[in-house]
Structure 1
Amino acid sequence: MRAVGMILAGGNSYRMRELSNKRAIAAMPIAGSFRSIDFALSSMSNSRIQKVAVLTQYNSRSLNEHLSSSKWWDFGRKQGGLFVFPPTVTADNSFWYRGTADALYQNLDFLKNCHEPYVVIASGDGVYKLDFNKVLEYHIAKKADITVVCKQLPPGEDVSRFGVLRMNENCRIEQFEEKPMASDANTISCGIYVVRRRQLIELIEKSAEEGRFDFVRDILIRYKGVRKIFGYKIDSYWSNIASVESYFRTNMDFLKKEVRDYFFREYPEVHSKVDDLPPAKYNPGSEVKNSLISAGSIINGAVENSILFSNVFVGENCVIKNSIVLSDVYLGDNVHLENCIVESRDTIRANTYYNGDDGIKIVIESDERYVL
């Protein structure tokens, strides 16, 4: 494909509450054995984008470990590859990334040294599958300066977390509001853009000269009446996980057969780093209904409508309902969880009860197994 990929994976969100204390949002676990960034990386790999840069910043250690080898997404090529760019202190610059446009500006040399004529920019917190070749063909056919991938949400859905846009009959974007308090429009930006490489360099350099650092506000919104910015609508599954509620809902979507089949059985595949773990073990007396149980887990109790990530131990007489248990968690005997997210590397003591009666409860306990 005639494009280079740029994945913006350095952000944080207060809406993730305690879940972002350990990791970047792009490293959040999804569907038992994936990370959020896997979906953007897989879409780029499946679209034959050979060169991809990931811009990391906040709590990036877990994300950097996940990206330590490019082979899982087939980027280990002589031409191209997977590049990870954290903020770098130089003689000329001592800032962290001050925004999405500034993150691109601080890595502008990478773009200048590329030979691909187009750039695909994506965020690392979306769950989707997308053929970027079709987006690029649309971009070229429209003779667009920038193409924004967008999706129409169901009526009544909260759009305050997204960029909301309006298009004319030719799909040219005429209005763009970033995270409005209220809006009667329901077409939102998916945080995925296609732009010509030389034009992107020009726009980013211009913004930096003027002290502007945000790609959406300082480029998309500012130039919408000057540049030809078009929307590319998708109708396939897409979800953003940048809040506790949306993260919980997205994971629970994978308990639906049609969603699992779409991501796991239909071509193209979603790729991820694979851990060498034994299959899950179900001991006598265990009972599992409509749940995803990952490798390395041992089940002795009852699990229903839940997702358990790798290396989870469920003690005897435990009841887990409508919950997400992240990796390396030990649940003692007689533990009851309902409407919860259990943070990784936790030890939940025996005879403990947690219930998210008024919303999703995040359970964080000190892990005595690792105390010296």
Structure 2
Amino acid sequence: MNKSLLGVIDATTHHEGLEDLMTYRSLAAIPFAGRYRLIDFVLSNMVNSNIESVAIFPKFQYRSLMDHLGSGKDWDLNRKRDGLFFFPSSIIEGIRRGIGSFNHFAANIDYFYRSKQEYALIANCFTVCQMNFKPVLEKHIQSGCDITEIYHGGKSMQMYLVKISLLIELIHMREETGYTCMSDVVSDIDHPYRLCFYEWNGYSMMIDSIQSYFAASMELLQPEIWKKLFLKEAPIYTKVKDEPPTRYSKESSVRHSMIANGCQMEGTVENSIISRAVSIGRGSIVKNCIIMQKTQIGENCLLDSVIIDKDVRLESGTVITGSSSSPYVIQKGKRQGALMSS
């Protein structure tokens, strides 16, 4: 059973509420928790579930995603057989709400024909969770299901388990049935398939807006949440970056925060997530913030409830305030100063 499940990750989703973080990258490649990307969670869950063949179906701004995943080595997916596959979309179609475009799959139908696995797990790229998919497969087989939809808290997680032969049939019959993706199938009350539901009771957060991204990030600062996501027996893998340790000056103060490697800390940081190679100047105060890699914050700045993307430079004396319900977002590569508030 270990080799009977194929992984399929839909990386084409575009959430309008996250546009400020998606100008130069896809949703799947948005940084999270200081050193990870959103796709790392579902991909690591697949690897930890002994899935040895994973197909990524990207569409928008996927250069950053491909750079992050590379050959799949950090996930042990750089294999001669199976491994990691990329199938970028060349199909012009509007933004869909469902996961897994049958048109996109049809353009790469040989991948499914050639797969040695019997079942496919079709998943989104933006759910943060720690899940073992093997029990889902076991229940699917035991219950004689055609399609299993994974739920959490009574809501669909937009993850589907289906026999590959049925998936191929759905792809070929898409024009006749009108089904464009898996959600079309399961939402049709007249479909002829045996649909089952698998309720996941662990921690899960779907990142579909700036508010949910900020809330999920701040929750990670709670030890009980961190321990639910990051397990020794089921690690969340990511691209390895070699950085020196973070340097803390005598004037610096850090409380209840996550600090990645390679940073220069001279100011005060509270309740924040700081990515690698960030510098925070003397006298600056950073509270309730998410600061992404290589950002430079000058001296005597005040930041509260702010999300700062990569490679941003803040001049000394900059004051920016947002709120937990409406964090202030600074896009990648910007240079800012003066007083700002949301």
**TM-score, length-scaled by structure 1:** 0.84
SS state at 1:296 partner: coil
Q: Who is 2:166 aligned against?
A: 199
Residues 1:107 and 2:108 are matched in the alignment: yes
The answer as to whether partners of 1:25 and 1:242 remain within 8 angstroms in 2 is no
Find the residue that maps to 1:191 and give its secondary structure. strand
Measure how far apart 1:226 and its partner are: 2.1
Task: Give the deviation of 1:366 after TM superposition.
Answer: 5.1
Structure 2 residue ranges without an equivalent (≥5): 336-342
Cα offset, 1:346, TM superposition: 0.6
Q: Please, which of 181, 186, 194 is the counterpart of residue 214 of structure 1?
A: 181
Q: Could you tell me which amino acid in structure 2 is paired with residue 30 of structure 1?
A: F
Q: 1:1-372, aligned counterparts within 5 Å?
A: 1=2, 2-88=4-90, 95=92, 99=96, 100-152=101-153, 187-209=154-176, 212-217=179-184, 219-222=185-188, 225-357=191-323, 359-364=326-331, 367=334
Tell me if the contact between 1:301 and 1:314 (Cα under 8 Å) persists in the aligned partners: yes
Identity over aligned pairs, percent: 31
- Aligned letter for 2:92? F
Contact 2:130 2:230 in 1 (8 A): no
Separation of aligned partners in 2, 1:311 and 1:24: 22
More deviation in 41-50 or 261-270? Answer: 261-270
CA drift at 1:279: 1.4
1:275-329 deviations in whole A, cap 9, x for unaligned?
A: 1111111111000000001111111000000001111100010100011011110
Cα distance in 2, alignment partners of residues 265 and 239 from structure 1: 17
- 8 Å CA contact retained: 2:45, 2:130: yes
> Cα distance, 1:12 vs. partner?
1.1
2: CA distance, partners of 1:209 / 1:309: 49
Determine the C-alpha separation between the residues in 2 that align with 1:323 and 1:208: 47
- CA-CA distance at 1:109 after TM superposition: 1.6
> 1:263: how far off?
2.7
In the alignment, is the contact (CA less than 8 A) between 1:347 and 1:365 conserved in 2?
A: no
Q: Contact (CA 8 Å) 1:102, 1:208: kept in 2 or not?
A: no
Structure 1, 205-214 or 300-309: larger mean CA deviation: 205-214
RMSD, aligned α-carbons:
1.9
Matched AA of 1:319:
I
Moved over 6 A (4+): none
What letter matches 2:55 in structure 1?
Answer: A
What is the alpha-carbon distance in structure 1 between the residues aligned to residue 227 and residue 150 of structure 2? Answer: 23
Residues 21 and 331, structure 2, Cα contact 8 Å, conserved in 1: no
What is the distance in 2 between the residues matched to 1:280 and 1:19?
A: 25
Gaps (5+ residues) in structure 1?
Answer: 89-93, 153-186
Cα separation, 1, equivalents of 2:139 and 2:231: 27
User: Which residue of structure 1 lines up, in the alignment, with residue 340 of structure 2?
Assistant: none
- Summarize deviations over 1:303-360 as a string: whole Å, max 9, x none: 0000011111000101000110111100011111101101111101110100014611
What SS does structure 2 have at the residue aligned with 1:82? strand
- Report SS of the residue matched to 1:344: coil
Q: Measure the CA separation in 1 of the matches of 2:94 and 2:106.
A: 9
Amino acid of the structure 2 residue aligned with 1:141:
Q
Other structure's SS at 1:32 match: coil
Amino acid across the alignment from 1:148: E
Assess if the C-alpha contact under 8 Å between 2:158 and 2:183 holds in 1. no
Number of residue equivalences: 329
Structure 2 length as normaliser, TM-score? 0.91
What's 2:339 paired with?
none
Shift in CA distance, 113/314, structure 1 to aligned 2, threshold 3 Å: same
Residues 132-176 of structure 1 show CA distances to partners (whole Å, capped at 9, x for unaligned) of 111000100110010011011xxxxxxxxxxxxxxxxxxxxxxxx
Question: How far has the Cα of 1:209 moved from its partner?
Answer: 4.5
Counterpart amino acid of residue 110 in structure 1:
Y
Cα distance in structure 1, aligned partners of 2:79 and 2:331: 41
Mapped partners of 1:81, 1:365: distance in 2: 32
The answer (yes or no) to whether the contact 1:57–1:97 under 8 Å persists in 2 is: no
Contact 1:148/1:230, CA 8 A, preserved across alignment: yes
Q: Which moved more, 1:311-320 or 1:95-104?
A: 95-104
